[in-house]
Structure 1
């Protein structure tokens, strides 16, 4: 394909993506589903047929999407939900893969290698579609964090398992002990690379503090961490996740100016949106409806198989969470099950199956069919399902409190930036005082109104939930801060481990009593 054809195709795809995004907002349907349908419709309009390239997705698109999700993840919230996330992304992926593989082996008659590869491929969830729904339908922030966190680590674990199965197929034999040992080495190695790349880059952030160079640096970190991991035969996906979390938490700290943070986050939001738009359009272009129709019975049976695996990896595992953490409500578990949507990574892994695997073409056709039906069926029904579950009802007082909190947050942030401008000599003191006083009026107004809300009795709110009056979310953050301080004191040997353990136990009891937010 020459450059002229490539430019023409890119122009068509950009125009289609723009139109689909606008129509999706108007029709209130997930834009990723609209993009797939558009891809199916415009195949004949392109000067040359194009499709997904597994190397392009795994080496370019995947690191970009993982890094963007990681830098936008609040590590304090991730830490507070790490137990259910670890269960879902670790044992959950293994259980789902195993159950799906066994069912596919006996239902479709696949050989063990093909069945195991299919099980891993179908254990991956596409969080882009689920998070797009969460932006339209309000859900508790803890649930959103669990979904995002599971996806971050789910992709990495699935890629590692896929590589192990391919290596087993090439070698002809691999013991369970060797497999577990390699799995451990690959994950730990990826984590160490992510830590090294992430912390090395944070020093450059603070020193440069310039938006354009920071953008280039983060792109280098995202792609570099993945490639270093692949080169050293460890998990590049895990390396990108860890590096992204460090950059988002440490690199974009208060030592970096607000303008740099805003520019950087806006860039990554835009690039992730663009990548997702291209990916889902290419999914539509790649799928052949005639081939799908021929393999429809096998596709439907495979959907039953991976949904059975998802059920057994969600409900039993999350039932265990109540033994050592805040329980996960049933309605949340239903969302995690309904949100089991397949996407581009599943298709990329299907395309990268070695040609020596028996039944490769049938497997690719089945995975492609599953992705299409998943995006159309679950993608369109998920918003309705989330609304029916009534996960969080937004009341008038709830909205008022959030508006006041937004006013308070923005005014204080502006005051902090004014202080910086004054210290650096950019702003004269007279202008500084005038502008700061204007923001102080907003701060005082918001604080007074919030204080009145918090001091009212719960019966003044017409019987609605007084969760916001009890300030559970704020109390949780304070308790987590206490835990962090205790662990740090124990690490520095300021306080004995016996005292710290007892205090931590009491704090955990208080956390369990709080309402889920």
Structure 2
């Protein structure tokens, strides 16, 4: 891809995603529709998905962002349902969907059918995370969907490699395929475990926030490349490292965390926007590859049958995987809350496919080892594309009203705020005790105004969360904390205007202006820190 088309893709997808944030429609669907529409406009260059770019360069940072934002403790608490979906469901779907394709699509070999089934087996990490956050699903469902999407790509890619080897005529077999899967999985986890402690140690030893964030940007690519180099799962290596770094993020300095959060939010926004737009832009490529080998009605019938099968198979797996273990094991019934059929329905319906499936499909070789064409490659590409589009559009559009109709219990904001306030009260008490110890030492003597300011800052931090529980202002609807942040922003804006006027009058130079504005920015960020958590 040349530079200008790439810049147009990034700029255009970012603009569409920005506009979508002002609507109630999930941004992935708006980007998908925009990509489909633009793909047929005259003069638009052909965007062909390159798996050598998507898998090693796009997938690692997206997985890293999703994993660092996930909770290791929550995932550990839900390890059984996550494992049953990310490993069990992907393998079950590969076998069942592969059998269906082999039965209903004439001329497609069993190995080629399994290739297609493995390609479309994993629900997409980006789609699951984006929609789960937007809809504020119950915490358990969100954790399960996020955890599944972090690991299932590794299972699907390994299953795809086994099926592809069989399609190419290489001797694999069930035993060899199982061994390859075991080696890739254990190897990926092993690489992640080997890297996570040294990388975290290096992060905590670097004192320059710019260097720390440069390292942060390189980590997912390095973990993925190293694992793939030793024929292990790069996906699992990235996830293991990112979960550990996210769990230990409190051990790096505040400047790194502030920069890192902003940098990764920007990276994720750009990549997610481009990825979904790129899916829509693939239509001319996919249809062009299909050629005249298949009739329109024929391929549409295959597409509908495959979409329905993919949706049904997920239901067939999710409900038994949710309720059968509870029937078989008393410990699970005593340890875990009873899941509802509505929650299982949402998990079943949230199996949208995405760019990973398309990237894997485009990596299918065009010829076999003997030089003849890969059987049904164009049809596999087309059916992958229609399945991705079908799940994103049908399930993506119906998921929000479905959740509203089910009236699933969402987040208890009042209870969460109360827990946050109690945690802040304990932390503030410890901070105040430590401050008094420090102030008792003559080496830490401060002028009284500065000492009082330290105490006021801690008091403000302690009271801020409790104020969110207070009665709103009858005129504005704001609670005291909201009003404080608004007034602080107005006051800081007034200071900022004065600094700019003084710079324009040449009373201060630009370097001093930047210093003063940075100080105000940090104060404004501190005033608004609670709003980020809401």
Common fold: TM-score over 0.5 = yes
Give the conservation status (yes or no) of the 8 Å contact 1:105–1:111. yes
TM-score, structure 1 as length reference: 0.78
| Distance of 1:416 and 1:219 partners within structure 2 | 35
The alignment partner of 1:388 has SS state of helix
Give the conservation status (yes or no) of the 8 Å contact 2:31–2:277. yes
Q: Which residue in 2 is equivalent to 1:472?
A: none
Give the conservation status (yes or no) of the 8 Å contact 2:38–2:44. no
Cα RMSD, aligned residues only:
3.1
1:307 aligns with 2:311: yes
Q: Which residue in 2 is equivalent to 1:441?
A: 459
Deviation at 1:426, TM superposition (A): 11
Q: Which residue in 2 is equivalent to 1:372?
A: 389
Q: How does 1:90-239 map to 2 (within 5 A)?
A: 90-109=87-106, 110-239=108-237
The alignment partner of 1:117 has SS state of helix
Give the conservation status (yes or no) of the 8 Å contact 2:311–2:349. no
The alignment partner of 1:367 has SS state of helix
Give the conservation status (yes or no) of the 8 Å contact 1:30–1:129. no
Deviation at 1:22, TM superposition (A): 3.5
Give the conservation status (yes or no) of the 8 Å contact 1:93–1:313. no
| Distance of 1:279 and 1:448 partners within structure 2 | 41
Q: How does 1:288-437 map to 2 (within 5 A)?
A: 288=284, 295-322=299-326, 323=329, 324=332, 326=336, 327-355=338-366, 356=368, 357-393=374-410, 398-406=412-420, 430=448, 433-437=451-455
| Distance of 1:10 and 1:201 partners within structure 2 | 32
Residue by residue, what CA displacement relative to the aligned partner does 1:352-391 show, whole Å, maximum 9, x if unpaired? 1122331111110111111122222211111111222211
| Distance of 2:264 and 2:431 partners within structure 1 | 23
Aligned pair count reads: 442
Q: Which residue in 2 is equivalent to 1:242?
A: 240
| Distance of 2:323 and 2:450 partners within structure 1 | 55
Deviation at 1:137, TM superposition (A): 2.3
Gaps of 5+ in 2: 291-295, 369-373, 471-534
| Distance of 1:392 and 1:339 partners within structure 2 | 17
Q: Which residue in 2 is equivalent to 1:265?
A: 261
Q: In terms of Rg, which structure is larger?
A: 2
| Distance of 1:427 and 1:57 partners within structure 2 | 57
TM-score, structure 2 as length reference: 0.75
Give the conservation status (yes or no) of the 8 Å contact 2:418–2:466. no
| Distance of 2:26 and 2:430 partners within structure 1 | 38
| Distance of 2:93 and 2:403 partners within structure 1 | 23
Deviation at 1:240, TM superposition (A): 0.9
In structure 2, the CA distance between the partners of 1:302 and 1:426, relative to structure 1 (3 Å rule), is farther
Deviation at 1:29, TM superposition (A): 0.5
Deviation at 1:158, TM superposition (A): 0.9
Q: Which residue in 1 is equivalent to 2:272?
A: 276
In structure 2, the CA distance between the partners of 1:408 and 1:17, relative to structure 1 (3 Å rule), is farther
Gaps of 5+ in 1: 453-517
| Distance of 2:263 and 2:446 partners within structure 1 | 32
Deviation at 1:266, TM superposition (A): 2.4
The alignment partner of 1:386 has SS state of helix
In structure 2, the CA distance between the partners of 1:390 and 1:426, relative to structure 1 (3 Å rule), is farther
